[in-house]
Structures are given as C-alpha cells and as structure tokens.
Structure 1
Amino acid sequence: MPLPPLTNEEFRTIVQRCTGIPAEALRLDDPDLTIDEIGVDSLGLLNVITEVENRCDIRLDAEGLTRFPEILAQINEKLAPPSARTENSIVIDAPLDLVWDLTNDVANWPNLFSEYAAAEILHRDGDTVRFRLTMHPEPDGTVWSWVSERVMDRAAGSVRAYRVETGPFDFMNIGWTYRETAAGVEMRWVQEFHMKPEAPVDDATMAEHINRNSKVQLALIKERVETAARSRAGAGVAP
C-alpha cells in the first residue's frame, strides 16, 4: 500500500533530527529561504535524504535543489499514486528565438494567455523564476491564485516548472519543449499531476479540463506570437 504524503511537520521533525537545528528555527515552508540560509550544510542534507529514503523506500535526486519545499515536493511526488498526464502541442510559424522569448516572459503572460489576470514575479535567479499567477474571477466570484517556479534551459529548448503552492493538487509538474520543424516551432506542453483526495475533482476530470483548456490557450498563443512575428517583419525588425 502506498505511504501517505509526508506532512510539513513530519518533514521538519526529520530535518531537526538529522541536522540538530532546533525545530523552531526550521522555516522549511518558506519558499524564499535556501537550504544554506536555514543553516543546513551538505552533510546535514545528506543525512536528511538518507533518512527519508530509508523511511519511505524511495530514491531522491536532490542535485540542483536549493530549497526544502522543492525536496518535499519531490518526496510526495514519489509517494503519490501513479500520476495523471496530459500532453498538448502546436506549431507556431515564427522564429524560435521570438517564440522562446515571448512564451517565457512570465510577467507578460496576462497578455499572452486569456486565463490569467495577473503574473507577479516574486524572485528571479538566472534562468529560474518564481512567480504568482492569478486567474480571472469565476462566475461565482472565486479567484484562483498560486505560486509556481520555472527553470528555463534555452540551450536544450526545454522548461520545467512545478507548483510551489499546490492547492487541490498533491503535486503539479509541467514541462515545455521547443522544436524547430519545417512548418515552424513546435511547442509541446506535458503536465503530470495528482489530485488530493479532498479535491473537488479527480485526476480524470482534471485531465479533461487541462486538455480542453490547453488547446484554447495554445491556439491563442500561436495567433499572438505569429502576429508579433509578422509585425516585426513588416517593420524590418530582426527576429
């Protein structure tokens, strides 16, 4: 039987036991604090990883992770039942550099997507950006908002992202890839997720919603990026 997700308090207890840092000083749910800033050195982190792996019978890859919420998200991703997965793509008739620049300008997403009312950049470190997305209100007035983190790799033509504030999801991981074709740039979105038991919808219902909405958003992005490409070409601006 799969183990239940590791709670913040359970994780804090493990970190305290493995590092000796007082529990009250371990602000592990603060997304802005790095592991170093909390005071955990590489040996302490190794002890935490080993303890979790032995306790949960999983294997973790903490390389490149700098914050404890990222590690807890990976732990619970591995503990979760098999995830749901959606995959959608579109070909955009525009130069790759322009497609990349426009679709990775998170601050401008409200002008690129139709679903977002606001995109607030919370932190930027090189190719990593943490941001808050806020959607337009639903008919009943409900406003959905959450924090995500996005890591861009221009050389590989790929982006990976995850929700820091998971809301109704156990986890939500997102991958974007870009590939040049004879017809233009293929942009592909892959989303892997699992809904919490208390969420108002199950994995299958959410997958249906994501697939339906992704087609709408991809078509809109294609139209807006291609319009920008034509405008630049008409003005003699290099792509």
Structure 2
Amino acid sequence: MSSEVTLEELAALMKKAAGVTVEPHDLEARADTPFAEFGLDSLGLLGIVGELENRHGRALPTDAERCKTPATSSTSSTARSRQEPDMAGHTENEITIAAPLDLVWDMTNDVESWPQLFSEYADAEVLTREGDTVTFRLTMHPDENGKVWSWVSERTTDREKLTVRARRIETGPFEYMNILWEYEETPAGVRMHWTQDFAMKPDAPVDDAGMTDIINRNSPVQLALIRDRIEQAATTAPA
C-alpha cells in the first residue's frame, strides 16, 4: 500500500466524503490553495479521514495546521508520526442558571431530551441503563456538506456529589474524550461547570490546540442555550 495520498484519491474523497467537486489537475495547479477556498471545512476533513480509514486502514496524516492545502495533505503518512506528540487538550467552561437545582439536574441529565436542550444534536438514543450509568448514541445535525456525525458515549451520574463523569466510547478522531460535569448551588443560581480532557489521534485533521479552540467557541454557545431553556422551564413550571 502506498504511503502517500495521491491527488486523484484526494479529489475522489473530497467528492465522496465532503461533497466538494474538484479535478485532480485543479488540485495540482492550486496545490498551495487553502482547503477552505475549495469549500472544505474541518468537518469535511474528518469525513475524508474516516473514508481513508475504512478504505485503506490508515488516515490522512495531518492536522489542521499541517493539512491546509492539497500539497501538504498528499505527503508521506510517516511524516506526522516522526513529530513530537501534542500536549493533551483541556477546556473548562461554565454558566450560572437561575433555576432550582433539581430542575437543572433533571433536565441536563435527561439524555433523551438533549435535542431540545442543545442546538447541535438531532437525536439522542439511550442504548443501555445500568444503575447510574447510561450508554447512548448522539447524532448531530448534518453539517454544511451534508455529513452526519454520530458516536456512542457513556455517562455516570452522582447526585450526592453533584457530578457527572462522561466519556466517548466510539472515539472517532479522538484518542479519548472525558467530560466532567459539576453542579454547585450559589446565591445567583446553579453553577454548571464542564471540564473536558481529550487528545486527538495523530492523524486527525485537527490537533489538540485546534480542538481546544473549537470547544471553547462552541461550549459557551451551548451553555447559554441550556441556561435559557432551563430558566424558561422554571418560569412556566407549576407552583
């Protein structure tokens, strides 16, 4: 098996995985053009990675910083492995919700209702329940290229300690992804804190720093939506 991704293969994968039509000779002529100018975003790159894994048992050998152009993405798959590993990713985000603790706890831990709580999930299917642990599949809304992302996660609640520990079982582009939810009653309401610890696979299209930026942009948006929807529920709940 070749250690390189050819421009012909890359063009075919861009069409199949991300819906972007481009000819190999165009990729060659515009080898230093950023993928974004071809209409391919980071999620599209993830689709290409998944397709390469399925077809060849290997993934695109670059991250967001090293995979900006067709030229850099058709390099040897051994190049990335020789580089020093990135430091693991770590993010912390929180919000205070002006609602009773019981309501905040119940709504945020009702996994099946997450599509009504988060804007990014189209479906949340509970697969198993065992004690305080639930295993479930999350499915996102299609991205701008029509790609649908889905994975299985597990979360264990501890009502006494007001914590939830969650992890991805189907890790996808992650080596691992662990999330700690913490709840604390304050005079202003319930403070909900998310701590995410993760590492990206060496051949993922974004590295730890890139995913850290993505999470830190998205988490405040989702936290604000959750706050607004829980506070709305609190105002309409029967006395």
TM range (shorter): 0.5 to 0.7
2:217 to 201, 212, 216: 212
2:231 to 213, 226, 232: 226
Paired with 1:120 and 1:90, the residues of 2 have a C-alpha distance of 26
Paired with 1:205 and 1:81, the residues of 2 have a C-alpha distance of 11
**Superposed displacement of residue 82, structure 1:** 4.2
Paired with 1:82 and 1:216, the residues of 2 have a C-alpha distance of 26
Would you say 1:96 and 2:101 are equivalent positions? yes
Q: Deviations over 1:55-74 (max 9, x none)?
A: xxxxxxxxxxxxxxxxxxxx
Indicate the residue corresponding to 2:183 in structure 1. Answer: 178
Identical-pair percentage: 64
Task: Report the residue type matching 2:206 in the other structure.
Answer: V
1:125 to 113, 130, 134: 130
Would you say 1:159 and 2:182 are equivalent positions? no
Paired with 2:152 and 2:215, the residues of 1 have a C-alpha distance of 18
Paired with 1:227 and 1:165, the residues of 2 have a C-alpha distance of 34
Alignment of 1:1-239 (within 5 A): 82-232=87-237, 235-236=238-239
Paired with 1:164 and 1:82, the residues of 2 have a C-alpha distance of 21
Aligned residues: 155
Q: Deviations over 1:175-233 (max 9, x none)?
A: 0000000100000000000000110101111000001100000000000000000001x
Q: Which runs of 4+ in 1 moved over 4 A?
A: none
TM-score by length of 1: 0.64
Indicate the residue corresponding to 2:53 in structure 1. Answer: none
Q: Which has the higher contact order (CA 8 A, sep 6+)?
A: 2
Paired with 1:199 and 1:178, the residues of 2 have a C-alpha distance of 32
What SS does the aligned partner of 2:152 have? strand
TM-score by length of 2: 0.64
Gaps of 5+ in 1: 1-79
Paired with 1:209 and 1:106, the residues of 2 have a C-alpha distance of 23
Gaps of 5+ in 2: 1-84
